[in-house]
Amino acid sequence: MRILGVDPGSRLTGYGCIETAGGRLVSVTHGVIKLARTSGKQDTPLEVRLLSIYHGLSDVIEVTRPDVLVIERVFFAKNAVSALKLGQARGAAILTGMIHGLKIAEYSPSEVKQALVGQGHADKDQVARMVELIVGKQSFDTSDASDGMALAICHANNMRNPHAANSAAYAQALRSASGQRKKKGSSLAEALGLSAEKIAGKKRVTPDKMR
C-alpha cells in the first residue's frame, strides 16, 4: 500500500509518500510545492496558488500512485484571514485527491505527534528525527516535507499495519505490542523504546545502529 501525506499551506504545501514493503516502511518520495512567488510588491493571487496545489499534487499522485491521501486538519491560525486561506488550501488538496479517486484521511498535528513521538506537543525537529528513524535518513527541503511524511506514517500506524517496520528490532517491537493488545494511541517511539531525550538528539539512535 502507498500512502501520501500532505501538509497544506497557502504558500508551501509539503508532501511525503511511503510504501509498505517486506515488513518495513519505505520512503517513496517527498518534497514541497511552492505556491507563492513575489515579484516586487505584487504577490501571487490566492486563486493561482490553489490551482498550483491541484497541478502540483496531481503530478505527485500520477507518479507515485498512492492508495490514500492523508491531510492535516486545521487546528489554529494566527487570524481569521490565515485560517480562511489554510482552509482553502486544504480544500484544494482534498478535492485533488478525490478527483484522482483516492481515499481521504485526516489527522490533527497533535495526533501525528502523539503517534510518532508520544507527545502531542513535540516540536518539528523531534518529528523529523522520528521519521528518519522509521524510513531512514532523508534530505528534507523544509519541515513541510517531513510533516507530510509524518502524516503518512501516522496513518500507517493507525491502521495497525504489521508491515510498518524499518528494521528487525522495530518489527519485533510492533509484534510484541500487538500481542499485548497495545492501546490505540501508543506511539511509534514507545514501540521502539525511545525516550523524548533520544528523539531530541541527546542519545540519538540512527537507522544504521538499529539494523
Residues annotated as catalytic (active site), given as ranges: 7, 72, 144
Task: Yes or no: say if 156 and 164 are a contact pair by the CB < 8 Å rule.
Answer: yes
Q: Where are the alpha helices (DSSP H) in 100-167?
A: 109-116, 124-135, 143-158
Q: Can you state the percent helix, strand and coil of the chain, rounding each to 5?
A: 45, 20, 35
Give the count of beta carbons closer than 10 Å to the beta carbon of residue 92.
Answer: 23
What are the Cα distances from residue 135, in Å, to 86, 209, 211?
28, 13, 12
Cα dihedral 106, 61, 58, 151 sign:
positive
Give every CB contact of residue 188 below 8 A, 6+ residues apart in sequence.
115, 116, 130, 134, 153, 157, 164
